[in-house]
Structure 1
Amino acid sequence: MTALSYVSDEADSAWATYLAQVERVLPYLGDLTRWADTLRHPKRALIVDIPLEMDDGSVRHFEGYRVQHNLSRGPGKGGVRFHPDVTLEEVMALSAWMTIKSAVLNLPFGGAKGGVRVDPRELSIKELERLTRRYTSEIGNIIGPQQDIPAPDVGTNAQVMAWMMDTYSMNVGATTTGVVTGKPVHLGGSLGRVKATGRGVFVTGMAAAQRIGLEVKACRVAVQGFGNVGSVSAELFYQRGAKIVAIQDHSGSLYREEGIDIPALLTWQREHGSIAGFTQAENIRHEAFWLKSFDILIPAALEGQITEARASALSCKLVLEGANGPTLPAADDILRKRQITVVPDVICNAGGVTVSYFEWVQDFSSFFWTEEEINQRLDSIMNDALIAVWNKAESLNVTLRTAAYAVACERILMARKDRGLYP
């Protein structure tokens, strides 16, 4: 499917999943298929070495990446991931999903992504700062407010973005707040950014539930991944009256038939760093999580979590993809046959990039909106995108994922076609 020499042949890799999703949309692109190879080839992939002096005086080397998948519709946009399992191939896939995500939301961005293969929990705060600043300097020649705008992702946060912004600013000789999004509010960050991705999952989930006739107040919800995305979406569904019956993170899995007390769990997580040991729910085996009975599943962890076996065992009616690429293509087919509706990641978790767009716009104008204005604009954009994709799915008789790719790829390839090739 690809002639790229630096990707693996693994059928369930993130990049292979992305390519399979592209293949499925080709029959619906008409004359634009002439340009389809644009989608299969990242525009630019940078690998950098990050030497780091540790607090004990030793020097370690870490490998970092920044991939710009497509810039036809605007500057690159995508997070930076600090995780021990980061690879170039994973970052390529994540950047490609950002291309699709920005286009399906009709944001004026292309897709990009970055990462460093490191476990940030093993670094001191000073080591983490030095790592961030060196990584920023190494990729500094390809990022910028009109080139490529990083943001937080797994293992990074507002503080990391502040260090990135400061490093870039020092190197160019001027304070440049628009080089990253997801910054602290007092440094040009946007209100509403921290909860934006989880809020987007909730907004699209509510709209999808209404479309398929699910009453959320009567729903049982399972959340896989209880970080920023999973915890916020769980809290919002809990506030709307749904029962959150199962939760899983890296430390363990919880289940309570009557529903888990989310405010109590959030307090526990803040105090202990994970959900492990929470006493107000039953601790269950990792795989048992997927076998429990619930109406809505929110996979909000990492890629490739819904396998064929898990898709065959799921009891739910609706899957809301809070994570990027959580469902393998073969599992997608099983879910469709079982008439389980999937709201794909490229819409469902796009609240983060949408509010990042708001932040970028606010930084250019130095005029900032209230959180109420942010949430209203976010809800409107997310709902409009979901309606457009739902209508496309019905007209083509395809899944929401294929419909989302049809909408996005039309926009991306039309931009490629009209811009032409240079030279």
Structure 2
Amino acid sequence: MSALPGSDYAKARIAGLSYLNPAAPEPWASFVEQIERVRPYLGDLERWIETLKHPKRTLIVDVPIERDDGTIAHYEGYRVQHNLSRGPGKGGIRFHPDVTLNEVMALSGWMTVKNAAVGLPFGGAKGGIRLDPKSVSKGELQRITRRFTSEIGIIIGPDRDIPAPDVGTNEMTMAIMMDTFSMNRGGTATGVVTGKPIALGGSLGRREATGRGVFITAREAARHLNVPLEGARVVVQGFGNVGGIGARLFHESGARVIAIADHAATLVNEAGIDIPAALAHVAAKGSLAGFAGASAIDIEDFWRLECEFLVPAALEGQITPQRAEGIRTRIVVEGANGPTTPAADDILRNRGILVVPDVLANAGGVTVSYFEWVQDFSSFFWTEDEINDRLERIMVGAFNAIWQIADEKQVSLRTAAFIIACHRVLEARAERGLYP
């Protein structure tokens, strides 16, 4: 978990803070604290809890390429397999300038919990490259992706570890990864990644799946709290594949999306934002900057808007204790991974604000990735309606099971999800035993 001596990130680590958000603890520290909160509920499985605080395998790779101008550039990449007790690793690949090993470790841990919480036969993994995709050409990005895939190829595979898209990556990234792995293997292996183009074995409904899962869990939470969707005010941070799709589904349900934000703009319109128009603007311009259907607002004021649903769907560590004190919503639905720090979680709970945790709320993506993986193995593909119906059943079933545990044990939905997931992972670990 080293960083370059003297770098801003190194200094932040010494202080025990996150470079992404100086007011938040490092992501891995947040994950470990969440695991510790489950200890009292593990019974005999408590003897295995340290398993969850030690990633099974961590790979750091150098990714050198020749740039278009003939110079050689090096990028640092990671693939972390947190736990493989219940099946092959599963988790995305992130291309972002702030990617760190600490972050990838935490994201892999959350994937372990997420997959177990919704009952998927996967372990947890995650990967990334410290890179701004916008800073390189299309050809350079392809060469980076191919070299990175070759470097991590020693630990990935359809029955070992299956990457997927994440921040800064997309269907074409997965196509390049699949092709590179297949060329090195000497035969087409469509199941090595998910989130692929349809023509290469991708699944219908995959692109919308994470945002759809966010909406499904928000709707179920609203049903339990008797909060009507019709006319409900919604605030969404992040307007990409998760936040944008989630906002569209809220809009279609009759809710009023009053504020949206991405890396370029933070906008509000109390009368309700035309979400299809905002999505069309982003598709044409690349961001919300210049969208005329809402007014600019300060980011801290954004977090204090009064609403029924707040959906953080950007990066981790966004809801800090300071922001949690000012949030005015009924329900937080975590579209992003790790957006709420443990201390902020406690503040929201004490204030009576329900948090639908990331390991449940954004599990729609990995659930449909599971469907894609199964379809690739069988070479038999389902319709989009079948995909959405299966997703609905799994997400609603997982939500109800987690809600029941939360009610029985009088804990938060996050702790309830971790209780279910940790029991499943540690039971598998105990049954398998230790080798040698």
For this structure pair, what is the TM-score category when the shorter chain's length is used for normalisation?
over 0.9
Work out which of the residue numbers 268, 276, 281 in structure 2 matches 1:263.
276
Amino acid at match of 1:97: W
Q: Which residue matches 1:290?
A: 303
Rounded to whole Å, the distance in 2 between the matches of 1:105 and 1:280 is 38
Tell me which stretches of 4 or more aligned residues in structure 1 moved more than 2 Å: 4-11
Q: Secondary structure at the match of 2:87?
A: coil
Amino acid at match of 1:306: I
Amino acid at match of 1:396: K
Q: Which residue matches 1:388?
A: 401
1:11-410 equivalences under 5 Å are 12-410=25-423
Amino acid at match of 1:356: S
Q: TM-score, normalised on structure 2? A: 0.95
Rounded to whole Å, the distance in 1 between the matches of 2:245 and 2:35 is 30
Q: Which residue matches 2:8?
A: none
Shift of 1:282: 0.9
Q: Deviations over 1:271-329 (max 9, x none)?
A: 11100111121111121111211110000000000011111101100000000000010
Amino acid at match of 1:256: N
Q: Secondary structure at the match of 1:216?
A: coil
Rounded to whole Å, the distance in 1 between the matches of 2:152 and 2:143 is 14
Rounded to whole Å, the distance in 2 between the matches of 1:367 and 1:49 is 38
Q: Secondary structure at the match of 1:57?
A: coil
Amino acid at match of 1:34: R
Q: Secondary structure at the match of 1:279?
A: coil
Rounded to whole Å, the distance in 1 between the matches of 2:81 and 2:254 is 41
Rounded to whole Å, the distance in 1 between the matches of 2:365 and 2:291 is 29
Q: Secondary structure at the match of 1:254?
A: strand
Rounded to whole Å, the distance in 1 between the matches of 2:317 and 2:167 is 15
* Count of residue correspondences: 420
Q: Is the 8 A contact 1:252 1:286 kept in 2?
A: no
Rounded to whole Å, the distance in 2 between the matches of 1:161 and 1:271 is 23
Q: Deviations over 1:207-232 (max 9, x none)?
A: 11010110011210000011100000
Q: Secondary structure at the match of 2:314?
A: coil
Structure 1: runs of 5+ lacking an equivalent: none
Between 278-287 and 92-101, report the one with greater CA deviation: 278-287
Shift of 1:5: 8.6
Amino acid at match of 1:121: K
Amino acid at match of 2:226: G
Q: Deviations over 1:224-273 (max 9, x none)?
A: 01110000000000000000001111111100010000011111111111
Between 228-237 and 282-291, report the one with greater CA deviation: 282-291
Rounded to whole Å, the distance in 2 between the matches of 1:312 and 1:284 is 19
Shift of 1:142: 0.2
Aligned-pair identity in percent equals: 63
Rounded to whole Å, the distance in 2 between the matches of 1:168 and 1:267 is 35
Shift of 1:118: 0.4
Q: Secondary structure at the match of 1:210?
A: helix
Structure 2: runs of 5+ lacking an equivalent: 4-12, 18-23
Rounded to whole Å, the distance in 1 between the matches of 2:372 and 2:283 is 27
Rounded to whole Å, the distance in 2 between the matches of 1:305 and 1:312 is 13
Report the RMSD for the aligned CA atoms in angstroms: 1.1
Q: Secondary structure at the match of 2:172?
A: helix
Shift of 1:111: 0.2
